[in-house]
Amino acid sequence: MKLNLLAVFAGVYLVVLYAPIVLLPLFAFNSGSVIAFPLRGFTTEWFGLLLDTPALHAATLNSLIIAISTAIFSTILGLFAARAATRYGFPGKGGIVGFIMLPLVLPEVIVAISLLIVLMQLGLNSGTWSIIAGHTLICTPFAIAILQGSFANMDRSLEEAAVDLGETPWSTFRLITLPLVAPGIVASLLICFIISLDEFIIAFFLSGNSPTLPVYLWSLLRFPAQLPMVMALGTILVLLSVLLLVLAETFRRRGLRRAGLKDTGGFL
Amino acid sequence: MSQKTPIVTLTGVQKYYGDYHALRGITANIGQGEFFSLLGPSGCGKTTLLRSIAGFEDISSGQLLLDGRDMEGVPPNKRPTNMVFQSYAIFPHMNVAENVGFGLRRSNMSSEEKRRAVGEALEMVGLGKYGARAAHALSGGQRQRVALARALIMKPKVLLLDEPLSALDKKMREVMQVELIRLQREVGITFILVTHDQEEALVMSDRIAVMFEGEIAQLDDPETLYRRPKSRRVAEFIGMMNFLPAQVLPTGPGGGRVALDVAGLGHAELEAAQCPNGATIGAAEIGVRPESLTILYEGQSAEGGREAEGTVREVVYYGDMTYYDVLLDGAPSPVRVSMRNMPGRKVLDFGARARLAWDPRSMVMFC
């Protein structure tokens, strides 16, 4: 009896969690222009409409530039921080690492407003590069968390062995460290990319005249006629996110296998 | 061994980690082609010393010469040493041949020469056919061999081994001990081995430095170390040693000899060489190895009448050997006696009376 209750609870839980997301593709392919049941008929019209909206294309391009830059910057910063945190002991290490990880729990609204105030005080225009900065701030902790795992899994004496066999610290990093943490780097790039691509609050505050994809989507909500197109776009974004996350996790696991280690849960 | 030309010269080497004094003035010469062991309990500084020689740790003061060259400020990749790590540190993203040939990357050998060198190195450690094998598909003993081949291919002046056998099971360890001795004879390179296993050190080394708390307590060949430990601590660490309280008598026989009264055994006379830290009249302690005490069976008697009697308090049967704990009459605690089991030699029972023969020549005395 107890077991059945648990099963019911789990079922309800999953339905509540995923039903709204299931609605997304449902209405994306619905030929009615009002988001309501009953469904009318099957159509791919809304997806076609996506292709004919230049403002959407501009927003998408903008988002891609921001997400790719953010992924690269966050991962490079994360690489340095994760290596330092796992390889060296230095005074105040715990405090410093905690400080870098803080944006993970900082309310994004606060980050966004602070960034906006700073930019205005400095008399600078907000725009693409300021969103990249803001996104790098919130993505770096994720990059560190992922890469720290990769470094912690790597036997320290591997690097020492390479130096012992005649390599310099730099060539050791290139020949030993980088190939062994490469899966972690790929995972970090993908996750930072997704976080940046989906991020709304910072982008909303700082985007100015060139909105990112989420900001553009939000602006569409004012026009009920556009809603089915939002559904179509949402469907694509959900699929893309799931795909990228699966890819990131695959790379993380491959890294563990390559290092000959057991999976201990991991990031996701 | 010590008269061979030194390849490693340590003079007053000190190492601090903050306030922690890890090495407290290490001075030693390690000879060309010597199999040298650093033996001690964990935390005694033996690994720190090995890593200092490799260049992974900077020494705080003192001097380290490798082949006559001062190593101060010389990074590990520029030192004539190579190391076999405790974890073996086999590069997991390379196969066996790539691992072994890794150190040749910077040499100006042709790729044909490199391939031949890798083949020879693998042959030497008995892995001739394993070149294409992936690193993670190796057993513990094979990883050990790859690590050895990878270090030896560099033809170092000194090979450093950090507890290389500790990750192996007992059988494999014994195989690799013999293998290491054979390899060392074959290549003639100086081996410096770090170990906490006294048996391993005794089996393999030409000389052993026993370390406690960052200092060398004794540096000798295995036999001297075993027969004539210089302190009670060394005696306890190397093998099994019985200790019995004794009194140094004021009426010595002269000629540098010392007369004692040993609890449970009786009157004994020792050479000065058996008293490493001298002899003063009064309380002292003698040490005697289990195999230097012999159980006397019916009809047997000890040479010079040096017999003692006691009660068997423990019997431990090992197959080839039997260990007895015998509480001698007049002694405060039991002594351990080891006897080889032979046909017709009865294993004594718990609680039986036993007669022991002893020999003052096999004793050491600590004041």
Encoding tokens for residue A114?
């602070």
Optimal mutation site among B91, B99, B146, B152, interface A, most CBs of chain A within 10 A: B91
Asked whether the beta carbons of residue B106 and residue A167 sit closer than 8 angstroms, the reply is: yes
Domain span at residue B261 reads 240-366
* CA distance to A24, A242, B117, B225, B288, per residue, from B233 (Å): 77, 64, 46, 12, 14
> pLDDT confidence of B235, banded at 50, 70, 90?
very high
* Chain B residues closer than 8 Å to A160 by CB: 56, 76, 83, 85, 89
CB B66 within 8 A of CB B158: yes
Which listed CATH number (3.30.559.10, 1.10.3720.10, 1.20.1260.10, 1.20.200.10) goes with A51-258?
1.10.3720.10
Interface probe with A: pick from B83, B95, B114, B157, most Cβ of A within 10 Å: B83
- Given an 8 Å threshold on Cβ–Cβ distance, is A164 in contact with B93? no
Which of B56, B103, B154 lies nearest to residue A160, judging by beta carbons?
A: B56
CA A70 to chain centre: 9
Query: A3 versus A29: which is more confidently predicted?
Result: A29
Residue B251 near residue B206 (C-beta atoms within 8 A): no
Test A160 with B136 for CB contact under 8 angstroms: no
A158 touches chain B (CB under 8 A): yes
Select the highest-mean-pLDDT range: A11-25, B76-90, B277-291.
B76-90
Taking CB atoms and an 8 Å limit, are B93 and A168 in contact across chains?
no
The predicted model gives A133-146 an average pLDDT of: 92
pLDDT in tens, A34-89: 677 777 777 777 788 788 888 888 898 999 999 999 999 999 999 999 988 888 87
Query: Do B193 and B248 share a structural domain?
Result: no
- B249 located within any domain: yes
How far A168 CA sits from the closest chain B CA (Å)?
A: 7
Rounded alpha-carbon distances, angstroms, from residue B181 to B108, B178, B184: 31, 5, 5
Question: pLDDT at residue B108 above 90?
Answer: no
Which residues of B touch chain A, with CB atoms under 8 Å apart? 54, 56, 75-77, 81-83, 85-87, 89, 91-93, 102-103, 105-106, 135-136, 150-151, 154
* Residue B207 and residue B247 in one domain: no
Contacts 24+ apart (CB under 8 A), A105-112: A106/A138, A108/A138, A108/A199, A108/A201, A108/A202, A109/A201, A111/A137, A111/A138, A111/A202, A112/A201, A112/A202, A112/A204, A112/A205, A112/A206
Q: Give the per-residue pLDDT at A2.
A: 61
* Shared domain check, B105 and B11: yes
What are the chain A neighbours of B75 within 8 Å (beta carbons)?
163
Q: Residue B343 falls within a domain, yes or no? A: yes
Of A155, A166, A167, the CB nearest to B87: A155
Q: Where along chain A do its domains lie?
A: 51-258
DSSP assignment string, A97-166: HHHHHGGGTS-HHHHHHHHHHHHHHTTPPPSHHHHHHHHHHHHHHHHHHHHHHHHHTS-HHHHHHHHHTT
Distance between CA atoms of residues B159 and A196, nearest Å: 51
Q: Based on the domain organization, do B84 and B164 belong to the same domain?
A: yes
Kindly state the average pLDDT of the residues B185-194.
93
B286-295 pLDDT tens trace: 999 999 999 9
For residues A159 and B171, give the distance between their C-alpha atoms in angstroms, rounded to a whole number. 30
Burial of residue A263 (CB within 10 Å: 0-12, 13-18, 19+) is exposed
The residue-averaged pLDDT of B279-292 equals: 90
DSSP state of A267: -
Gyration radius of chain A's alpha carbons:
22
Using CB atoms, which residue from A155, A158, A165 is nearest to B103?
A165
Considering only CB atoms, which chain A residues are within 8 Å of B76? 160, 163-164
Residues B229 and B350 both lie in one domain: no
Instruction: Tell me how many residue pairs between chain A and chain B have CB atoms under 8 A apart.
Output: 57
The phi, psi pair for A100, rounded to 5°, reads -70, -35
In the numeric block, the tokens 């030699």 are attached to B345
For residues B258 and A29, give the distance between their C-alpha atoms in angstroms, rounded to a whole number: 106
The answer to whether the CB atoms of A160 and B92 lie below 8 A apart is no
Nearest-10 Cα torsion for A162, A165, A171, A172:
10
Which token pair is A111?
């980050």
pLDDT digits (tens, 9 = 90+) for B25-79: 999 999 999 999 999 999 899 999 999 999 999 999 999 999 999 999 999 999 9
Would you call the peptide bond into A228 cis, given omega within 30 degrees of 0 as the criterion?
A: no
β B266-270/B242-248 pair status:
unpaired
**What is the pTM assigned to this prediction?**
0.80
The residue behind tokens 């921080």 is A81
Residues B21 and B156 in one domain: yes
In a domain, B1, yes or no: no
Q: Do B224 and B259 share a domain, yes or no?
A: no
Q: Of B177, B205, B233, which one is at a domain's C-terminal end?
A: B233
Nearest CA in chain A to B152: A165
- Tell me the three state secondary structure of residue B172: helix
Considering only the beta carbons, identify the residue of B56, B87, B93 that sits closest to A180: B93
Place of tokens 């060259």: B69
Alpha-carbon distance of B356 to B309, in angstroms, equals: 6
Pairing of strands B6-17, B61-66: antiparallel
Q: Output phi, psi for B162, to 5 deg.
A: -100, 100
The verdict on residue B340 lying in a domain is yes
pLDDT of amino acid A229: 81
Mean pLDDT of A186-198: 90
Q: What is the mean pLDDT of chain B?
A: 91
Per residue, what are the HEC states of B280-343?
A: CCEEEEEEECHHHCEEECCCCCCHHHCEEEEEEEEEEECCCEEEEEEEECCCCCCEEEEEECCC
**Mean pLDDT comparison of A183-187, B85-89, B168-172, B253-257, highest-scoring range:** B85-89
Share of chain B above pLDDT 70, in %: 98
B185-210 average pLDDT score? 94
Predicted local distance difference test score (pLDDT) of residue A171: 93
Nearest to B226 by CA among B211, B216, B215, B236: B236
In whole angstroms, give the CA distance from residue A105 to residue A95: 15
**Contact yes or no for B77 and A163 at CB 8 A:** yes
Query: Are residues B133 and B36 part of one domain?
Result: yes
Query: Degrees (nearest 5) of the Cα angle B130, B131, B134?
Result: 80
The predicted structure's pLDDT at residue A1 = 54
- Within this chain, do residues B63 and B203 fall inside the same structural domain, yes or no? yes
Contact B312, B326 (CB under 8 A): yes
pLDDT of residue B3: 52
Sheet order of strands, B61-66 included = B20-31, B6-17, B61-66, B69-70
Domain end residue (candidates: B211, B233, B255): B233
Task: Let me know whether B259 and B216 are in one domain.
Answer: no
Query: Is A174 at the interface with chain B, CB within 8 A?
Result: no
Q: Under an 8 A CB cutoff, do A180 and B83 touch?
A: no
Picking from B166, B200, B233, the residue at the C-terminal end of a domain is: B233
Residue A164 clears pLDDT 80, i.e. is over it: yes
Give pLDDT, residue B1.
44
First to last CA, chain B: 30
Q: Which residues pair with B353 in a beta bridge?
A: B311
Cβ within 8 Å, pair A161-B83: yes
CA distance to partner chain A, nearest, from residue B155 (Å): 11
| CA closest to A179 among chain B residues | B93
* Residues B296 and B354 reside in one and the same domain: yes
Flag if A163 and B136 touch (Cβ within 8 Å).
no
Q: What are the structure tokens assigned to B316, written together?
A: 């431990």
pLDDT of residue A42: 79
Question: Does the beta-carbon distance from A155 to B89 stay under 8 Å?
Answer: yes
Contacts (Cβ under 8 Å, ≥6 apart) of A73: A132, A136
B258 and B297 belong to one structural domain: yes
pLDDT at B2 over 50: no
Which residues on B lie below 8 Å from A163 (Cβ)? 75-77
Q: Closest approach of chain A CAs to the CA of B361, in angstroms? A: 48
Mean pLDDT of A257-264: 59
Q: State the Cα–Cα distance between residues B111 and B118, nearest whole angstrom.
A: 10
User: How far is the alpha carbon of B11 from chain A, nearest alpha carbon, in Å?
Assistant: 23
Half-sphere exposure of A30 (CA within 13 A, CB side): 21
Contact between A167 and B91 using a beta-carbon 8 Å cutoff: no
- The number of distinct structural domains making up chain B is 2
Is B300 a domain residue? yes
